[in-house]
Structure 1
């Protein structure tokens, strides 16, 4: 009787490919589901301000005037209830947008400070989606989980690229989309969409991870390319009244050409008054430039964020790139479209797997 032929082992490269294919499939169907749902929320949030004004048209029916007397009234009235900062009225949203310690927001008329709207993630769909997109509704723990899922998603994208990569000269053939049979259709839709839009998908994913681990990314980038945080000056405690009209006027001219965007509400005896500005050339919609004044209105620090070295500018670019604040309306719509891609890849990947499994 002839001896049985020894079992042949598959080549190492094929075994590696099989393992990576298995990882790509099951991470896509598990962590990929959370990633896809959070990305859908991101698509909606790209148009957060537009949708907010559509829901509450009273917010758009004002002139964008930042009156120091109104600001003084708002701080005196709402600081005891946790008010920590306010966005100044602007063309896009011509009302005071106030941020509170517990995460809720309130909106006030620029003319007289009348309360126009109260929002929290408990009663507002857009803020609920924001909480889901940022930390999966889980606070600090949710953000850490989201960071892990983000890294897994980056790995999944790169594995997908490896599995797609064709032999030399067959790149266009590998991108071809087929109408049938179903197994081939779902596979080609999945891989072609993923590869064609991979740069934008990878950009959105990496910048999202970069915001979760902002301190680590900033440290690495500044070590490699230079830059450092600018420390605000420490002023002695002082409970003298602040002339907010004068403070706004001084902050506006401290950095020529910059848009005054946000004011931090000082503690009753805090000596410094801090503003955020968007300098010319800055991508961040609120700006990373800062002006610090004393309570008597003297400018003690004015820093234009465009003067940062490359590493710090790179770390500060994560947020505006992630939300589509760079490149005008075209990039905004492209960012929203990319937010739909993870769900498309999840569905087409699942349909491919189900069809292939059914043929076995």
Structure 2
């Protein structure tokens, strides 16, 4: 026989957690569900974009320095801040990112403008902005971080409330067809427990992206690693246009075998440093976290950074984003990620139906 005091405490604790789980789930859980639903769609962002905008598909992948230079000369004065190179396993066109948030897409062979997208006229970009900051900028980003922490609490309290006595785990995983109160409760609990690892992973990586600096400090402190290096400042006395064919050739030659350039930012005024992002063989990040910097003349390599050679903590940090967006493990994990985004909404609906049915019986 257990003492009465601990039993009474456990009952009060369970009742309090049940009340919190219900009402926090029906309120904050609604935002969590909407963010999850948007994420399920965004897993297929590039696929949907090419289906919706067929002019972006079907191009031969060409990375030509003359074309790159022409795009930058024309569009950098209009706010172009970086450009994504054509990729065989992604969009085969140049993708330009502008300071005001809009994006432009250019033909790989001649740099002709194919498409311009903004949050106001493109539903996928609108959905992306909702997913990352609730359409409210930095304030929304911070709110989303709080929602993420509360969502983690919901998942863990749900696990505690479900946890059965020894030997009854399989019984507690059973889903019932009726009566309605038992049906919705069993579907809510069992589906939540069975899919908890996936939803927990997506939620943790989402929180890790919002609090990236803190996540990196924690992981590198525990498992080793440092911040990515940066090329030393290299000013120039006279402004001169970069020799983009030579720059591309030099940066490509500096890469380890199997790596490829993915993104470049034009040099700042008065700077001789041109920085590239690259994806080395074995990197999970779709854009890569490896770095190469060269001078404007394309004659000198100023920085090489192979992200695959980092300590474990730094590599774990850089796995957060690809794990969250489903770019790891091929199509199986991609579809699992999309399904994981639907699960908070399923939990919200089944929890609401359980509450409504139980309330109606009183």
Give TM-score scaled by structure 2 length: 0.96
**Counterparts of 1:57 and 1:265 in 2: how far apart (Å)?**
28
Range 206-215 or range 245-254, more displaced:
245-254
**Counterparts of 1:304 and 1:143 in 2: how far apart (Å)?**
30
Q: Aligned residue for 2:340?
A: 338
Q: Deviations over 1:132-166 (max 9, x none)?
A: 00000011110000000000000000000000000
Q: Aligned residue for 1:162?
A: 160
Give TM-score scaled by structure 1 length: 0.96
CA-based RMSD of the aligned residues comes to 1.2
Shift of 1:327: 0.5
**Counterparts of 1:76 and 1:240 in 2: how far apart (Å)?**
12
**Counterparts of 1:22 and 1:87 in 2: how far apart (Å)?**
49
Q: Aligned residue for 1:18?
A: 15
Q: What SS does the aligned partner of 1:30 have? A: helix
Please state if 1:231 is matched with 2:229: yes
Q: Aligned residue for 2:180?
A: 182
Q: What SS does the aligned partner of 1:98 have? A: strand
Q: Aligned residue for 1:123?
A: 121
Q: Deviations over 1:216-264 (max 9, x none)?
A: 1111111111111132122322223211111111111212210211111
Q: Aligned residue for 2:53?
A: 56
Please state if 1:43 is matched with 2:45: no
Cα pair 2:285 2:327 within 8 Å, conserved = yes
**Counterparts of 1:328 and 1:252 in 2: how far apart (Å)?**
26
Cα pair 2:229 2:305 within 8 Å, conserved = no
Q: Aligned residue for 1:94?
A: 92
Give the alignment partner of residue 68 of structure 2, picking from 68, 71, 82.
71
Q: Aligned residue for 1:350?
A: 352
Q: Aligned residue for 1:5?
A: none
Cα pair 1:235 1:294 within 8 Å, conserved = no
Cα pair 1:232 1:301 within 8 Å, conserved = yes
Q: Aligned residue for 1:250?
A: 250
**Counterparts of 1:48 and 1:9 in 2: how far apart (Å)?**
52
Cα pair 1:97 1:108 within 8 Å, conserved = yes
Shift of 1:10: 7.5
**Counterparts of 1:50 and 1:132 in 2: how far apart (Å)?**
19
Please state if 1:261 is matched with 2:262: yes
> What is the 5 A alignment of 1:291-330?
291-297=292-298, 298-330=300-332
What runs of 5+ residues in structure 1 fail to find an aligned partner? 1-7
Q: What SS does the aligned partner of 1:277 have? A: strand
Please state if 1:135 is matched with 2:133: yes
Please state if 1:205 is matched with 2:203: yes
Shift of 1:45: 0.3
**Counterparts of 2:202 and 2:339 in 1: how far apart (Å)?**
11
Shift of 1:90: 1.1
Q: Deviations over 1:26-52 (max 9, x none)?
A: 110000000100110000000000000
**Counterparts of 2:197 and 2:228 in 1: how far apart (Å)?**
32
**Counterparts of 1:187 and 1:26 in 2: how far apart (Å)?**
15
Q: What SS does the aligned partner of 2:95 have? A: strand
Shift of 1:112: 1.0
**Counterparts of 1:347 and 1:82 in 2: how far apart (Å)?**
44
Range 220-229 or range 179-188, more displaced:
220-229
Range 250-259 or range 120-129, more displaced:
250-259
**Counterparts of 1:234 and 1:76 in 2: how far apart (Å)?**
25
Q: Aligned residue for 2:108?
A: 110
The count of corresponding residues between Structure 1 and Structure 2 is 353
**Greater than 6 Å deviation, 4+ residue runs:** none
